[in-house]
Structure 1
Amino acid sequence: MGDMFFSGWPTLLRTLVIGVLAYFNLVVLLRLSGLRTLSKMNAFDLVITVALGSTFATILLNKTVSLAQGSLALALLIALQFLVTWSSVRAGWFRRLVTGEPALLFHHGRLLRGAARTARVTEDEIHSAIRAAGVDALSQVQAVVLETDGSFSVITGRTDEGHSALSDVIAPGAQRVAPGKKA
């Protein structure tokens, strides 16, 4: 029962030393991997973040995992994320596979109920996003988009023909939103 509360100074010293070394190792690996690793998260990034945290905890608390093994595991996870993001930048089909696509939820004053239902977003959440953007009239809203990181983008005003920020957003039951066209 004594081990449950205190298993000795060597165990605490190991946790302290390994914790400091693993922490600095993780910071260096994250800095080497670039800013993309620390950007807003989509679903894939969340999985990597949770896996990094779990691996870090295992390094700290599991006596059978050496610092070298843990460092290799951290480096492997970061390298895999780098490979996936590198591939995502170069291949659109791969990016869509990993991160999904933004969803058009509100377009030209009209709530797209089917898209909202598919994205599991309520009308209240859309209205909240519009208010958070500082807009008080729905007629001012050109579009509300659920981005791949879970955030909402609220677009107000008119856009120039051919220069729409909605060109990469798919309207429900349609092709991509063409610049200057209604979904």
Structure 2
Amino acid sequence: MIEEMLFQSWSGILRTLLVGTLAYAGLVAFLRISGKRTLAKLNAFDLVVTVALGSTLATILLSESVALAEGLTAFVTLIALQYLVAKLSVASDGFARLVRSEPTLLMHEGRVLQGALRRERITEEELISAIRTNSGAARKDVAAVVLESDGSFSVIPKPGDGGGADYASADLPKPHG
């Protein structure tokens, strides 16, 4: 019993080495063909595709019931769907709004936007932590904090602090209350 948990067979190890190498090479090739956008984590959908690709690779490597051809087909399917969604998002603003969340302004000119924090389920402590982590600036030196579509925080320093480029209010998302 314990032996099976530690070692089952040389054929299993050989399969993992061979299929793993070919699946990895196939994934790299498909990603190179599909372009940088495939792995850009610009929104939640992109993150889901990235995680799904990793999960698919793990399944191909470890599940003997999944043939290499099936795994490579899964890669192509995920990448093709991601490409299609990205293409439709560029072509249609309505479709883009359907699959992508908009950035949210959480703090502006020193004022924490409590309604935005509630909607995004972020505490003020998490906001302050994001400011420290992303800029090292004190709260009073921050012009704005934006929760981006991919879940990351953008901390924009006040102009003239030497902490970065000046920002234009027109580039910030509109506050929602």
Q: With structure 1 as the length reference, what TM-score do the two structures score?
A: 0.81
Structure 2 counterparts to residues 90-129 of structure 1, below 5 A: 90-129=91-130
Aligned residue number for residue 82 of structure 2 = 81
Give the corresponding residue for 2:175. Answer: 171
Q: Within 5 A, what are the aligned runs for 1:58-73?
A: 58-73=59-74
Contact (CA 8 Å) 1:44, 1:98: kept in 2 or not? yes
Distance 1:111 1:17, change over 3 A: same
CA distance in 1, matches of 2:94, 2:38: 21
- Residues 89/3 of structure 1: CA separation in 2 closer, same or farther (3 Å cut): same
Partner SS for 1:164: helix
Alpha carbons of 1:67 and 1:159: their partners in 2 closer, same or farther (altered >3 Å)?
closer
- Does the CA contact (< 8 Å) of 1:146 and 1:152 recur in 2? yes
Superposition deviation, residue 41 in structure 1: 4.9
3-state SS of paired residue (2:174): coil
Mark the CA change 1:113 to 1:3 in structure 2 (over 3 Å): closer, same or farther.
same
Aligned pair in 2 of structure 1 residues 70, 107: CA closer, same or farther (>3 Å)?
same
Do 1:129 and 1:152's aligned partners in 2 also have CA atoms closer than 8 Å? Answer: yes
> In structure 2, what residue type is equivalent to 1:133?
S
Moved more, 34-43 or 95-104: 34-43
Instruction: Confirm or deny: 8 A CA contact 2:128 2:139 kept in the other structure.
Output: no
Give unmatched runs, 5+ long, in structure 1. 174-183
Aligned to 2:58: 57
1:133 aligns with 2:135: yes
Amino acid at match of 1:170: K
Distance 1:159 1:6 in 2: 59
CA shift digits 1:56-115 (9 cap, x unpaired): 122112222211111011110011111111112222222222120111111222111011
Partner of 1:179: none
Q: Distance in 1 between matches of 2:37 and 2:62?
A: 29
Instruction: Specify the SS of the correspondent of 2:171.
Output: coil
Shift of 1:159: 5.2
What amino acid is the match of 1:104?
Answer: L
List per-residue Cα deviations over 1:24-72 (Å, max 9, x = no partner): 0011111111111222353212211221122112211222221111101
Task: Give the RMSD, CA atoms, in angstroms.
Answer: 2.0
Provide the TM-score with structure 2 as the length reference.
0.84
Letter in 2 for 1:98: V
Q: What secondary structure sits across from 2:150 in the alignment?
A: coil
Give the Å deviation of 1:145: 0.9
Q: What displacement does 1:16 show?
A: 0.8
Higher alpha-carbon deviation: 140-149 or 151-160: 151-160
Look up the match of 1:19. Answer: 20
User: Hey, what's the Cα distance between the residues in 2 that align with 1:151 and 1:39?
Assistant: 13
- 8 A contact 2:53–2:78 mirrored in 1: yes
